């Protein structure tokens, strides 16, 4: 046995089955309580006044007329927060409410709490803000130039080379080997510049919260979030509170995908509640979600790759420029590390610059930074294969990273599942299926790191032998089911005997945000350990009843049994029997585990996309799509498939239609789902998921995270498919119909 | 002594050395001693780094053991969504 007591080679009884989702009935009947569904007596309604300018100095804010309006109970500006802390306001707070400058179109400048939404809206019109409009910049390449308007001063790290504007805040470089030598050994070199636009996570539920704060400094906050412990930490810091005095309870969550890993409105509601003395509810409109939450970065990238005639990649180089809005972000380094992760390269170099612009601060979105970089690299690899008349899948297998490969980001890979995933794609009927006229097939690899983090689980054995699991991570991808399954598997009982809930911040120790594809891995690991602790205690109780040593009892199929013939002859004691006697044998039985979980394994995926391009309209239709991904171990395969399908759909949307469109005035032109087009079911074929299971040695059951990798390959898979269908190499996303049509017309004109 | 690989742009802080050696038996000692020996590394270490030990990436577990034969690579602090 390994130090982790891994059991992933055993026959599972519950793991790998597909029980009905525990939140299903509430969600389909409308009973699930989302962020906006909570109502409490005497509650006020809040609205936010937002800047109409992308960049403007705030000369003054006059709230006096708004305060006089009948029904208005509180109005706040940034000045209301200065009383909570003498420290320089954090970036998080300044993003929630503008201080000296409005930094992007939609930046909050003031807020009102009133008896109704209507009154609050009316009050916003009575707030008079005097602005001094400043020059703005929303394009990453423009923002890097030395003559660019400076968005936000004082953020340049010591690692930024000279020659850029102050908007370039950080710089990263990774790689190894002799690039010049590598390119000299290539028979063909392709070098291209790519651009991607910012995309929004597109979660269906807008941000919403309800805050109730008392004059003595205690507060309750209900909100939709991916991490209520992080909400508590950020809000307590902003409000000058001790953590114990702020209890945060997460609602059911209608999607997050990384966009709900931070805060936008919660401090506003808390401050309004404190000022008004009433509970305050604040719900964003869709327009506000687009303008003032956190979309992805947009990017501008140069990629150069050399290949021999027989398909060996001799060198790869990428320069990545990511803008992440008006505050520093840490995204380009993730892209720069991921860009060439799928390849075993002797010479590779990636460089990345993080850049400020007058846009909302970017937030995480599934595998942040990786989809853009890998889109550019995988597009060039495909172009090389096409120009050299090589099979793109065979070439990826030929160059694939494997155990012993020095990765492009530094460490040497241990067991990874990339080649197995590529071979699964190669053997799948999709790969050799015939294509018709105007159709093309695209392929892309994807990669993500995954991680663990701080995690707490308590597992209570109820008196009737059923199990209550308490965890601290909002369920955005089916974790309540998978956690219940892992508890049931370990305890040797059926799935329906376990119910898992997500507790508030006072019920458990700190839990990291639901991100990094960490929950099934880390919370699962803690659940297994908590179950093992409860089993140990139940064996002890049986030993007391039987009058034998604790070590002479073991656990099997949901019962305590004598460990061997020398332990004595006793009938097995079931979990129900032990639980029923627990009061008499020492008290209630529970197991718990608290850990900073490490050991999350990296994950690879391969996507195949078939598209058909309408050459009269430039419209692209996805006609077949297959996802291959290494899940380590699929605890609940339906949820794993759902993650793989969902990531693919979001990536397809990013590739074909989704983009933040800014006008010359620096204002967002398409802040709504009508103009920001996400794919809907009727746009897509059934996405076929193919799960591979190459166990992660860092988890007792072999789990790897699956939530993020699946959004990485679609951008290039679609780009390559469209490029092959049209015989035009595209290098800007999204491939919206006007863009494709324009290129088709140009091709026709140029002959 | 533990041999540590430093990523490209961070090598300015280690006199352009890709590999440096420090005494360390765990994650915390590694970072502490890197900061002492190469003070220009300290701002990045304070902002956050991950450490890959034989290919497994650790974010902040101070007492993760490190042995001289381990492959140790300094990486930026991992973030996700």
Domains and CATH numbers, chain A: 24-32+452-597 (3.30.365.10), 35-134+206-253+260-292 (3.90.1170.50), 298-450+601-750 (3.30.365.10)
Interchain proximity B75–A409, CB inside 8 Å: yes
pLDDT under 70: residue ranges of chain A: 1-10
Phi-psi region of A287 (alpha: psi -120 to 50; beta: other; left: phi over 0): alpha
Interchain proximity A258–B81, CB inside 8 Å: yes
What the block records as the tokens of A593 is 């585990």
Is residue B81 assigned to a domain? no
Interchain proximity A258–B80, CB inside 8 Å: yes
Q: The domain containing residue B10 runs over which residues?
A: 2-76
Q: Beta partners for A198?
A: none
Helix, strand or coil, per DSSP, at residue A103: coil
Count of the separate structural domains present in chain B:
1
String of DSSP letters for A651-709: HHHHHHT----B-TTS-BS--STTTS----GGGSPPEEEEEE----TTSTT-----TTG
What the block records as the tokens of A534 is 């409860």
Query: What confidence score (pLDDT) does residue B2 get?
Result: 97
Query: What confidence score (pLDDT) does residue A748 get?
Result: 87
Residue A109 contacts residue A326 (beta carbons within 8 Å): no
Q: Distance (Å, rounded) from C-alpha A689 to C-alpha A29?
A: 28
Is residue B52 assigned to a domain? yes
The answer, for A257 touching chain B at a CB cutoff of 8 Å, is yes
Length of chain A: 751
Candidate from B8, B40, B59 with C-beta closest to A451: B59
Interchain proximity A516–B81, CB inside 8 Å: yes
What the block records as the tokens of A364 is 């995480």
Interchain proximity A171–B9, CB inside 8 Å: yes
The answer, for A412 touching chain B at a CB cutoff of 8 Å, is yes
Residue A34 contacts residue A208 (beta carbons within 8 Å): yes
Query: What confidence score (pLDDT) does residue B60 get?
Result: 84
Q: Distance (Å, rounded) from C-alpha A571 to C-alpha A687?
A: 51
On the CB side of A699, CA atoms within 13 Å amount to 31
Chain B hits for A363, Cβ within 8 Å: 81
Chain A hits for B20, Cβ within 8 Å: none
Please write the tens of the pLDDT for every residue from A189-236. Answer: 999 999 999 999 999 999 999 999 998 889 999 999 999 999 999 999
Query: What confidence score (pLDDT) does residue A698 get?
Result: 87
Centroid of chain to Cα A409: 21
Please write the tens of the pLDDT for every residue from A520-533. Answer: 999 999 999 999 99
Helix, strand or coil, per DSSP, at residue A717: helix
Is residue B54 assigned to a domain? yes
Longest dimension (CA), chain B: 36
Q: Beta partners for A444?
A: A607
The model's confidence at residue B20, banded by pLDDT at 50, 70 and 90, is very high
Q: Distance (Å, rounded) from C-alpha A233 to C-alpha A248?
A: 10
The 3-class secondary structure across A270-312, one letter per residue, is HHHHHHHCCCEEEECCHHHHHHHCCCCCEEEEEEEEEECCCCC
What is the predicted ipTM?
0.96
Query: What confidence score (pLDDT) does residue A85 get?
Result: 86
**Residue (of A311, A442, A443, A303) closest to A389 by Cα position:** A311
Residue A50 contacts residue A106 (beta carbons within 8 Å): yes
Residues 6+ apart with CB under 8 A from A674: none
Please write the tens of the pLDDT for every residue from A14-27. Answer: 999 999 999 999 99
Q: Distance (Å, rounded) from C-alpha A529 to C-alpha A590?
A: 12
Q: How far is CA A129 from CA A210, A292, A552, in A?
A: 27, 18, 76
Chain A hits for B51, Cβ within 8 Å: none
pLDDT (average), residues B21-44: 97
Q: How far apart are the first and last CA of chain B?
A: 36
Q: Distance (Å, rounded) from C-alpha A716 to C-alpha A722?
A: 10
What the block records as the tokens of B8 is 């490209």
Is residue B11 assigned to a domain? yes
Interchain proximity A516–B76, CB inside 8 Å: no
Please write the tens of the pLDDT for every residue from A389-419. Answer: 999 999 999 999 999 999 999 999 988 889 9
B69: domain CATH number?
Answer: 3.10.20.30
The model's confidence at residue B40, banded by pLDDT at 50, 70 and 90, is very high
| Alpha helix positions (H), A614-656 | 637-656
Q: Distance (Å, rounded) from C-alpha A37 to C-alpha A210?
A: 10
């Amino acid at each position: 046995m390994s130090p982790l007591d891994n059991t992933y080679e055993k026959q599972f009884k519950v793991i790998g089955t597909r029980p009905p989702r525990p939140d299903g009935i509430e969600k389909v009947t409308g009973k699930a309580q989302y962020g906006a569904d909570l109502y409490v007596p005497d509650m006020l309604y809040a609205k936010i006044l937002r800047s109409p300018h992308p960049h403007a100095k705030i000369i003054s804010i006059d709230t006096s007329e708004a305060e006089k309006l009948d029904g208005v109970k509180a109005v706040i500006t940034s000045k209301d927060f200065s009383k909570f802390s003498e420290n320089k306001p954090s970036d998080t707070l300044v993003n929630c409410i503008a201080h000296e400058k409005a930094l992007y179109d939609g930046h909050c400048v003031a807020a009102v709490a009133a008896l109704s939404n209507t009154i609050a809206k009316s009050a916003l019109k009575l707030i008079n803000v005097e602005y001094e409009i400043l020059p703005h910049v929303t394009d990453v390449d423009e923002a890097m130039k030395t003559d660019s308007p400076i968005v936000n001063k004082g953020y340049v790290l010591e690692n930024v080379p000279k020659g850029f504007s102050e908007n370039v805040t950080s710089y990263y470089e990774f790689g190894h080997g002799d690039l010049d030598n590598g390119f000299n050994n290539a028979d063909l070199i392709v070098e291209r510049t790519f651009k991607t636009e910012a995309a929004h996570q597109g979660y269906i539920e807008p941000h919403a919260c309800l805050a109730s704060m008392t004059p003595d400094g205690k507060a309750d906050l209900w909100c939709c979030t991916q991490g209520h412990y992080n909400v508590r930490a950020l809000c307590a810091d902003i409000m000058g509170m001790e953590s114990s005095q702020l209890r945060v309870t997460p609602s059911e969550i209608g999607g997050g995908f990384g966009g709900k890993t931070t805060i936008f409105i919660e401090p506003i509601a808390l401050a309004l509640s404190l000022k008004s003395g009433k509970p305050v509810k604040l719900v964003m409109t869709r327009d506000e979600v687009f303008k003032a939450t956190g979309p992805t970065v947009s990017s501008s990238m140069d990629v150069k790759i050399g290949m021999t005639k027989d398909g060996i990649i001799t060198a790869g180089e990428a320069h990545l420029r990511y803008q992440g809005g008006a505050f520093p972000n840490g995204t380009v380094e993730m892209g720069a590390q991921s860009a060439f992760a799928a390849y075993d390269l002797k010479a590779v170099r990636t460089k990345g610059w993080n850049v400020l612009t007058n846009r909302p601060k970017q937030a995480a979105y599934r595998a942040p930074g990786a989809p853009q970089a890998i889109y550019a690299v995988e597009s060039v690899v495909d172009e090389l294969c096409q120009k050299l008349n090589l099979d793109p899948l065979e070439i990826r297998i030929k160059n694939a990273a494997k155990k012993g490969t020095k990765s492009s980001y530094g460490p040497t890979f241990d067991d990874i599942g990339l080649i197995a995933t590529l071979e699964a794609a190669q053997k799948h009927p999709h790969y050799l299926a015939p294509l018709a006229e105007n159709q093309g097939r695209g392929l892309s690899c994807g990669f993500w790191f995954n991680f663990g983090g701080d995690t707490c689980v308590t597992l209570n054995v109820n008196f009737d032998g059923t199990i209550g699991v308490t965890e601290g991570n909002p369920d955005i991808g089916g974790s309540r089911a998978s956690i219940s399954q892992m508890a049931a598997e370990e305890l040797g009982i059926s799935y329906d005997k376990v119910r898992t809930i997500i507790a508030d911040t006072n019920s458990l120790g700190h839990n990291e945000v639901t991100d990094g594809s960490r929950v099934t891995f880390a919370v699962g690991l803690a659940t297994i350990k908590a179950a093992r602790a409860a089993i140990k205690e139940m064996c002890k109780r049986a030993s007391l009843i039987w009058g034998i040593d604790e070590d002479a009892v073991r656990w099997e199929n949901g019962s305590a049994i004598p460990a061997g013939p020398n332990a004595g002859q006793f009938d097995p004691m079931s979990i129900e029997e032990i639980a029923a006697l627990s009061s008499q044998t020492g008290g209630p039985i529970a197991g718990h585990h608290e850990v900073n979980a490490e050991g999350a394994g990296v994950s690879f995926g391969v996507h195949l996309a078939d598209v058909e391009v309408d050459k009269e309209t430039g419209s692209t239709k996805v006609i077949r799509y297959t996802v291959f991904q290494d899940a380590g171990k699929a605890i609940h395969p339906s949820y794993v498939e759902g993650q793989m399908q969902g990531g693919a759909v979001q990536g397809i949307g990013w590739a074909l239609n989704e983009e933040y469109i800014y006008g010359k005035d620096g204002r967002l032109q398409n802040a709504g789902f009508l103009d920001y087009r996400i794919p809907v079911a009727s746009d897509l074929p059934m996405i076929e998921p193919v799960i591979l299971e190459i166990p992660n040695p860092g988890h007792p059951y072999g789990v790897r995270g699956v939530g993020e990798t699946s959004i990485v390959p679609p951008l290039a898979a679609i780009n390559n498919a469209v490029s092959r269908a049209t015989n035009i190499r595209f290098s800007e996303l999204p491939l919206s119909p006007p863009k494709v049509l324009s290129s088709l017309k140009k091709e026709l004109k140029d002959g | 002594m533990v041999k540590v690989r430093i990523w490209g742009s961070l090598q300015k802080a280690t006199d352009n050395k890709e590999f440096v050696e420090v005494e360390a038996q765990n994650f915390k000692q590694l970072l502490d001693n890197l900061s002492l020996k190469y003070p220009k590394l300290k701002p990045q270490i304070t902002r956050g780094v991950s450490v890959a030990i034989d290919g497994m990436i650790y974010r902040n577990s101070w007492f993760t053991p490190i042995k001289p034969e381990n492959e140790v690579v300094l990486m930026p602090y991992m973030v996700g969504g």
